[in-house]
Amino acid sequence: MSPSASVPNGSVAAQPGPVSYELTTTPFIKQIRRLFPQLALQARMRGSTLALALLILAAVSPQPSLAWWSPVGSLNVARAKHTATLLPNGKVLLVGGEGLDSAELYDQDALGFSVTSPMGTARAKHTATLLPNGKVLVVGGYGGSYLNSAQLYDPASGTWSPAGTMNTPRAGHTATLLPNGKVLVAGGRSSFNSPPLDSAQIYDPFSGGSGSWYTTPPMGTARTQHTATLLPNGKVLVAGGIVDVENSTMTQSAELYTPGSGWSPAASMHIPRADHTATSLPNGKVLVVGAADTEVYERYEWATNTWLYGTIYMTGRIRHTATLLPNELVLLMGGYLVDEKQYLNYYEIINPLTLSVGVDWFEENPARADHTATRLGNDKVLVAGGINSDGYLNIAKLYTANSVKFKLPPLLVFYTFEFGPRDVSGNKLHATVTGSPQPVPGSNGQGQAYSFNGATDYLTVPLDINPTQYPKLTMGCWVKTATLAPWWQHQPVLSHDNDDFDRAIAIDWRGNGFDLDGNPNAVGWSAFGGAEGQVLGGVPAILDQWTFVAVVYDQTAGTVKFRVDDMVFTKTGATLGLGRDKLLIGFRPATSSFPIDTYFAGAIDNVFVFGDALTDQQLAYIRAGGAQAIMSATFKSIPGPLQLLLLGD
């Protein structure tokens, strides 16, 4: 028995764990090697039959994930433009939709839907507000005509009762629960062709048995399809909307409602919007996303009455949902592309604190808009109903998020390649493209990666990661090589090195890998940690397989750790040179010691650089969660003129 595998040519051994056993040559093991050749290679590097068994078990078992989708029972009725309200008993009340007066309940324990009493009046584009007494107030909308009626749902009895009438029919309005328990209803329109409304009314649930309505001062701007969000100071922020129905003219204006006194102007958004979302954040700020012709989102700073730009997200969607997750990220789901007339079947993750965006993930939900997304009392989100090109939907899915907020150090740069060479860390250190790398499907079938041709394609990152400025640093990515070049040829993935052999990840002969016959010196993964010879590795590169690679430098401790998927190699006594003044992706220029330009051939995805030394646990978290895990980090603000760059630079 041996606690670690021996690796030829002086390389440092992988760390397999506390106990490992020598690989045997029984018929069973030979069969396993034939069935799982790639895993057998990894186990051989660990010198362990036990390691091989564990690798196979991991391969055939569900992989760890930060988030996943799971089906739940279908709705009893296909519906869109409905409402969904989380009740105090944990059930979700779904009400109405196009041409529907029906209602149903989602039961988290039963993972299914059951019918409850119908409203008696069909309505869509209405509002539903949970009151302090546990009842649900449903207001307005349209059925056969635009409605001024309101109804109350009592979860205890499962029945509906009238809740008075507004003085104006309205749909496309907002309804906001105020701190005093009353409900502010504002805007909308009263018929299909009518102009937007500026009027507002208050529902008082404490007046009479079914409550009563009274008028409050009108808004400064008539609007429909806007948003309304309660702020920590008790005011209501109303933002955007359509101000001219005939011409579909949107507004960027915003205003504040103060209970007891009325409306006052607020700072305008940077972008006109309608059919957007506004998400209240734990710090009281408001994240606004979506519009027909913009890919920019912004955040309202209620304490200073200002708006801040965020980085761009994938596309200018409308009629989507935005849900705050337990880890304080925001799930952006579905929607509609106006110009392309396309319904969306993917989602995005936004970090509202850093105003940075994650990758788009294609998933098994159908494309949908006008659906609902309800965060349950745990780490799950119920997405239900909607519409797409096939019609109304009765399909529901559960999104499960990681409820643990994992602490990561600051990001310096992050390239998902969803947006080309844009840095989405928040520092806006956008890379320069040389050649023409092509977009291809991303790692694990998620999002988008860049494919490099091995001859002319590479990216230049305007970041000097020398050890003087960053004595502790972590960089990595997901890689899929398109060629296994001769053993003597170098394929750079990330390169900051010159003759000093500073910080870099590559495929070359110093990887000390094995071929399928167990012969040493096949090309494998390497990480440079200073002068030549201080190279870590021991894992062969495998064609057309996504591999997670990351290297952790700690100049203070004199250590370099190189991770290839779940294997970790450690080098001590490393002394780093200054290297180049820029980080290169897919390219290493000729130097005096290696006078040939070298390029990478294959795909690279989710390139990240952290300004600190990540732990093994943190890297395992990133490997499991991909771009979404990386986006849970904050970004490190880099001083200098780059801070003056505007969005879009």
- Beta bridge pairs of residue 86: 92
Please indicate, yes or no, whether residues 473 and 589 belong to a single structural domain of this protein: yes
Quote the domain boundaries for residue 623.
411-644
Please indicate, yes or no, whether residues 541 and 585 belong to a single structural domain of this protein: yes
> Looking at the domain assignment, is residue 137 inside a domain?
no
- The pLDDT, as a whole number, for residue 313 is 58
CATH of the domain at 539: 2.60.120.200
Angle at 361 (CA atoms; ends 71, 393), nearest 5 degrees: 40
Mean pLDDT of 339-362: 72
- Which of 383, 401, 419 is the endpoint of a domain? 401
Q: How confident is the model at residue 424 (pLDDT cuts 50, 70, 90)?
A: confident
Please indicate, yes or no, whether residues 386 and 473 belong to a single structural domain of this protein: no
552 token code pair: 């952790």
pLDDT above 90 covers a percentage of the chain that reads 48
> Looking at the domain assignment, is residue 458 inside a domain?
yes
Please indicate, yes or no, whether residues 381 and 423 belong to a single structural domain of this protein: no
Q: Which of 159-163, 463-467, 617-621, 635-639 has the highest mean pLDDT?
A: 159-163
Q: How confident is the model at residue 224 (pLDDT cuts 50, 70, 90)?
A: very high
Q: Which amino acid is at 112?
A: G
| Letter string b/e over residues 357-381, b meaning 16 or more CB atoms within 10 A of that residue's CB | bbbbbebebbbbbbbbbbbbeebbb
649 token code pair: 């630079």
- The pLDDT, as a whole number, for residue 531 is 56
Q: How confident is the model at residue 267 (pLDDT cuts 50, 70, 90)?
A: very high
Please indicate, yes or no, whether residues 419 and 393 belong to a single structural domain of this protein: no
> Looking at the domain assignment, is residue 128 inside a domain?
no
Please indicate, yes or no, whether residues 380 and 474 belong to a single structural domain of this protein: no
pLDDT at 311 over 70: no
- The pLDDT, as a whole number, for residue 359 is 46
CB neighbours of residue 158 within 10 Å: 14
- The pLDDT, as a whole number, for residue 645 is 24
Closest to 71 measured CA to CA, from 395, 445, 375: 395
- The pLDDT, as a whole number, for residue 97 is 98
The CA distances from residue 313 to 65, 541, 623, in Å, are: 22, 33, 23
- The pLDDT, as a whole number, for residue 535 is 65
Instruction: For the full predicted model, state whether its pTM sits above 0.75.
Output: no
The residue with greater pLDDT, 11 or 126, is 126
Please indicate, yes or no, whether residues 489 and 475 belong to a single structural domain of this protein: yes
Element (H, E) at 419: strand 418-421
pLDDT above 70 covers a percentage of the chain that reads 76
484 token code pair: 């296994």
The residue with greater pLDDT, 274 or 465, is 274
Residue 494's contacts (CB-CB under 8 Å, 6 or more residues apart) are 475, 476, 477, 503, 504, 505, 583, 584, 585, 607
104 and 73 in contact (C-beta within 8 Å)?
Answer: no
What phi and psi values does residue 210 have, to the nearest 5 degrees?
Answer: -110, 10
Tens digits of residue pLDDT in 514-538: 444 555 555 677 777 665 445 676 6
- The pLDDT, as a whole number, for residue 354 is 67
Mean pLDDT of 536-542: 73
> Looking at the domain assignment, is residue 322 inside a domain?
yes
- Beta bridge pairs of residue 432: 460
Q: How confident is the model at residue 425 (pLDDT cuts 50, 70, 90)?
A: confident
- Which of 62, 86, 106 is the endpoint of a domain? 62
The DSSP-derived string for 180-212 is TS-EEEE--BSSTTSPBP--EEEEETTSTTT-E
- The pLDDT, as a whole number, for residue 62 is 34
- The pLDDT, as a whole number, for residue 164 is 96
Q: Which stretch of 67-81, 292-306, 400-414 has the lowest confidence by average pLDDT?
A: 400-414
Please indicate, yes or no, whether residues 340 and 476 belong to a single structural domain of this protein: no
CB neighbours of residue 90 within 10 Å: 13
pLDDT at 505 over 70: yes
Nearest-angstrom CA–CA distance, 475 and 355: 22
> Looking at the domain assignment, is residue 178 inside a domain?
no
What CA dihedral angle connects 107, 110, 113 and 116, to 10 degrees? -60
- The pLDDT, as a whole number, for residue 523 is 65
> Looking at the domain assignment, is residue 163 inside a domain?
no
**CA-based Rg of the chain, rounded to a whole angstrom?**
28
- The pLDDT, as a whole number, for residue 257 is 99
308 token code pair: 């801040």
> Looking at the domain assignment, is residue 104 inside a domain?
no
pLDDT at 202 over 70: yes
Closest to 82 measured CA to CA, from 100, 66, 96: 96
pLDDT at 197 over 60: yes
Mean pLDDT of 174-192: 97
Which position has the token pair 């799950």? 380
Local structure of 569: helix, strand or coil: strand
Tens digits of residue pLDDT in 89-106: 999 999 999 999 999 999
Please indicate, yes or no, whether residues 305 and 446 belong to a single structural domain of this protein: no
Please indicate, yes or no, whether residues 474 and 521 belong to a single structural domain of this protein: yes
Mean pLDDT of 113-128: 98
What CA dihedral angle connects 115, 169, 86 and 324, to 10 degrees? 140
- Beta bridge pairs of residue 216: 200
The residue with greater pLDDT, 646 or 589, is 589
The CA distances from residue 187 to 3, 172, 228, in Å, are: 71, 8, 10
- Long-range own/partner contacts, residues 266-271 (CB < 8 A, 24 or more apart): 266/237, 266/239, 266/305, 267/300, 267/305, 267/306, 267/307, 268/307, 269/239, 269/240, 269/298, 269/307, 270/296, 270/298, 270/307, 270/309, 271/296, 271/298
Q: How confident is the model at residue 455 (pLDDT cuts 50, 70, 90)?
A: very high
Tens digits of residue pLDDT in 35-72: 343 344 334 333 444 334 433 433 333 333 445 678 88
113 and 106 in contact (C-beta within 8 Å)?
Answer: yes
Angle at 565 (CA atoms; ends 563, 566), nearest 5 degrees: 80
For CA atoms 463, 465, 470, 475, the dihedral sign is: positive
Which position has the token pair 């397989």? 545
474 token code pair: 């972590």
- The pLDDT, as a whole number, for residue 265 is 98
What phi and psi values does residue 640 have, to the nearest 5 degrees?
Answer: 120, -175
Please indicate, yes or no, whether residues 479 and 351 belong to a single structural domain of this protein: no
- The pLDDT, as a whole number, for residue 524 is 72
Please indicate, yes or no, whether residues 461 and 586 belong to a single structural domain of this protein: yes
The residue with greater pLDDT, 63 or 236, is 236
Q: How confident is the model at residue 307 (pLDDT cuts 50, 70, 90)?
A: very high
- The pLDDT, as a whole number, for residue 240 is 98
Q: Which amino acid is at 325?
A: L
- The pLDDT, as a whole number, for residue 511 is 52
Closest to 540 measured CA to CA, from 513, 503, 574: 513
pLDDT at 314 over 60: no
5 and 22 in contact (C-beta within 8 Å)?
Answer: no
- Which of 374, 401, 428 is the endpoint of a domain? 401
> Looking at the domain assignment, is residue 307 inside a domain?
yes
Burial of 74 (0-12, 13-18, 19+ CB in 10 A): middle
- Beta bridge pairs of residue 136: 130, 153
- The pLDDT, as a whole number, for residue 292 is 79
How many domains does one find in the chain? 3
Instruction: Name the DSSP class of 643.
Output: G
Which position has the token pair 């992988």? 14
Q: What is the mean pLDDT of the chain?
A: 80
CATH of the domain at 393: 2.120.10.80
Q: Assign residue 565 a region: left if phi > 0, alpha if psi is -120 to 50, beta otherwise?
A: left
- Beta bridge pairs of residue 350: 330, 357
- The pLDDT, as a whole number, for residue 54 is 36
Nearest-angstrom CA–CA distance, 400 and 62: 15
For the chain, the maximum distance between any two Cα atoms, rounded to a whole number of angstroms, is 88
Which position has the token pair 């104006």? 168
